């Protein structure tokens, strides 16, 4: 059984949401692969134009939804969460109020699902919802192997306002990384166009340099500051992305010749120091953005165990940190 073509207007509370998340909330029975096919073939359009899953929606836009199978069927009941899942998710919470839920995401846990990923934050977030509540909604993303602050809105309106802060780059994100070698100069700005490019083995997510006007090229800016270094073995680097591109920080550090320790995709000519713990040494340690009800929200996430061990190994002291990006 198929529904007819629908034209759905984006309401104010949904403004700033990614198209794929907007679609999932309205049509939870349609899988990601099916959605991507509908986008690729142009059956889903926004204001008459072709779009991608990451397109940010604006209030008042018209989304064309093609006939969908069983679109009018009631959603399947959510499988109950185990006590272990509930306890695990509660252990990640670093802030919660009536509008916002913030977690310290562990490295290795995906934010959203894919064809081979069934355990991810977007599926587990319902473990924190009360029986009469809808699960909180993602406002942004982190790479699977990046740990740290990630924010959810507890209503469509809150999620929309939070998402807009990331879309318009008013959210100030600070990451800590351990790099192989020490960037020179110790304080700088990396900028330029980048784009996705296929690599050997079918990797379509790898970023590469690009020129303005190249197909798929996007502009990326990252500020960085070396906080400490262990000779030329490794450095503790604070990073402030001023844009939010895929793998931006990892690509930019590798471009400087000081790849992030533990990164197997973006590498450099320097050998990794021996004896370092396993895992990507990149952590979203703090986030400042506007609260949906007004005022400022400041969130901090403690370092994961593998990075804490690396700090000890290289003699870096977290207590020595002074915000190098503070412009007040």
CB atoms within 10 A of CB 172: 19
C-alpha–C-alpha distance, residues 157 and 162, integer Å = 9
Give the residue among 145, 191, 147, 178 at the shortest CA–CA distance from 270: 178
Q: Is 143 a catalytic residue?
A: yes
Catalytic residue among 143, 203, 323, 326: 143
Distance between CA atoms of 119 and 142, rounded to whole angstroms? Answer: 15
For 282, list phi and psi in degrees, rounded to 5. -140, 125
Tokens matching residue 194: 């980048």
Q: Which sequence positions are flagged as catalytic?
A: 143
């Amino acid at each position: 059984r198929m529904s007819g073509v629908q034209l759905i207007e984006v309401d104010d509370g949904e403004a700033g949401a990614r198209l794929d998340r907007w679609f999932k909330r309205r049509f939870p029975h349609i899988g990601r692969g099916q959605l991507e096919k509908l986008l690729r073939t142009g059956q889903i359009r926004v204001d008459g134009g072709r779009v991608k899953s990451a397109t940010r929606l604006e209030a008042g836009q018209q989304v064309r939804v093609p006939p969908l199978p069983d679109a009018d069927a009631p959603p399947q009941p959510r499988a109950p969460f185990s006590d272990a899942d509930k306890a695990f998710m509660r252990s990640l919470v670093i802030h919660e109020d009536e509008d916002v839920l913030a977690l310290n995401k562990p490295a290795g846990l995906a934010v959203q699902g894919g064809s081979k990923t069934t355990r991810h934050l977007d599926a587990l977030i319902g473990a924190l919802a009360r029986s009469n509540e809808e699960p909180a909604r993602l406002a942004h993303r982190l790479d699977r192997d990046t740990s740290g602050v990630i924010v959810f809105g507890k209503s469509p309106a809150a999620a929309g306002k939070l998402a807009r802060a990331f879309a318009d780059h008013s959210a100030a994100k600070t990451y800590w990384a351990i790099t192989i070698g020490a960037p020179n100069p110790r304080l700088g700005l990396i900028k330029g166009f980048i784009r996705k490019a296929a690599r050997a083995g079918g990797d379509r997510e790898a970023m590469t340099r690009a020129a303005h006007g190249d197909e798929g090229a996007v502009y990326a800016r990252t500020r960085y500051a070396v906080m400490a270094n262990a000779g030329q073995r490794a450095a503790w680097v604070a990073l402030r992305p001023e844009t939010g591109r895929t793998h931006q920080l990892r690509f930019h550090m590798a471009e400087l010749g000081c790849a992030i320790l533990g990164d197997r995709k973006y590498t450099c000519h320097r050998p990794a120091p021996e004896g370092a713990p396993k895992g990507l040494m990149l952590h979203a340690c703090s986030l400042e953005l506007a609260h949906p009800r007004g005022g400022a929200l400041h969130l901090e996430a403690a370092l994961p165990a593998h990075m804490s061990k690396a700090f000890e190994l290289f003699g870096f002291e977290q207590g020595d940190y002074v915000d190098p990006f503070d412009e007040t």
